[in-house]
Chain A
């Protein structure tokens, strides 16, 4: 189960008198579902229909969810602001003719539902209130809330639902999948993230980041520019259209720090930036900024960290 599911459930059960229910589609949905009770889901609606694996996910997911909305009339639906969340929310908004608020990082219910989101790369907070039409659809950025179990041994009631697959959904078929796993801690959970951008110059230089990350027991991230250039997989893209990370330490190498990137890493406790350009906006958010060549500094850093490691194992 993606950690963001637990984050959203934790938030949902903190809302006044909310009755919290979850929806889970996919081959493994049944096993995953009952554990959601630990995070406050009373009921989990589940479909293990093969359509969710064989067809482009968003169509059947939105249609099945629409049938549940019709039956149970929720007031608020929280989605993770990920590619899959957007695929469902965008189609569902049309089906129900209700608006979606995207990129939220807080949700409040006080008569009406309002959502706080950040714009201009996290320099402004905007609070947007929904009108009277329900349900309110909100795409929430992962890591906006800390997941906490209820502390009770709750098991959610699992309710099997029928998948709704329309003719047009059959026209987009999944013919291959690749999982992009990485060695070491996952990017979202790593305490240290070592991230590279266009300034690294070439795909092979990401190996330097891998080495530093391994030495610091961290994970490698990348800016959108580096991912677009094909130097790193999308799975490690940090920023608006990628992941949000909140590590203890974020090291940005050759990343200019466009607002689209900083929104995904501003929550780091400490930020170190290395960039050739002293005017690079990344230095505005860095606790330590080094103006210089990222490759040279990474090389030195690897040597220093290795010698440290060697001396600590011999002593």
Chain B
């Protein structure tokens, strides 16, 4: 099975983000950049399918040069090779542009399955997997919480607005996985050493015949960024056995009881 996993390098989701006040783009300086934790789940899903059914995992990403660190981590986990689309025209790209670039990079090689997270931890539009499906003319089984392959079809349980549904899908397809689907492995020392010699292909928009994406007028422009008025601070107590009592008093105060 040829599996491509889309990954993104993001500012550490556990530290708050900042926007550049002039360009209104995400500031990457001074923030630790990490492989998106949601993408680690995608990589793990791909590796398990490849281990069980044969095949290899390739990671595909778009981003600044530092993204190579995120790709190396995926290679250390067990992916075979990586592709990075890096182009000066891409910073600030919207979700549609991102999907076009990733789809073009994926389509350079044969694929049976493309795995993504459900949304990135920093931009979280959550529409890139579906857009990839449309661009590559394949189904996009999104928000999947369990995934099985029986040698012929992929069977995935996914979250809908009202419950869950089980989908049986012929490959090739796009699969977006929720964080609960597995526990991603840590790269072993051997994996980390081995990753250094695994190939990473660098591409520009021109290599993908997508140069026009860099010159096209943006479809959307950020016009303002404002701080939200903070919620006024409440009161805080350390529980001395009176915690429940204090909650009851508060419920009384706001007339919930």
Interface residues of A (CB under 8 A from B): 2, 56-59, 62, 80, 82-84, 86-91, 93-95, 97-103, 114, 118-131, 133, 139, 168-169, 171-180, 191-192, 216, 224, 227-230, 234-235, 240-241, 248-249, 251, 258-260, 266, 269-272, 274, 278, 283-293, 296-298, 300-301, 303-305, 308
Contacts and interface: CB of A to CB of B under 8 A. Distances in A.
A183 to B, nearest CB: 15
B164 A180 contact: yes
Contacts, number: 282
Contact of A59 (B19, B135, B139, B221): B139
Contact of A173 (B164, B168, B244): B168
Contacts of B166: 174-177
A172 B173 contact: yes
Contacts of B169: 56, 171-173
A90 B134 contact: yes
11 contacts: A87-B142, A91-B133, A100-B95, A124-B227, A131-B218, A139-B127, A174-B167, A216-B256, A288-B235, A290-B236, A301-B247
Taking chain A's interface residues, is the majority helix, strand, or loop, or is none over half, making it mixed?
mixed
Given A56-B139, A93-B96, A283 B245 contact: no
Interface string B201-239: 000000000000000011111111111101101111111
Contact of B142 (A86, A169, A292): A86
A229 B217 CA distance: 43
B94 A249 contact: no
B247 to A, nearest CB: 6
B49 interface: no
A128 B220 CA distance: 6
B162 A174 contact: no
A176 B224 CA distance: 45
Taking chain B's interface residues, is the majority helix, strand, or loop, or is none over half, making it mixed?
mixed
Contact of B246 (A102, A124, A290): A290
Interface residues of B, number: 83
Contacts of A57: 160
Interface string B122-136: 001111111101110
B126 A241 contact: yes
Given A300-B243, A308-B257, A86 B126 contact: yes
Contacts of A133: 219
Contacts of B133: 58-59, 90-91
B130 to A, nearest CB: 3
Contacts of B163: 177-180, 235
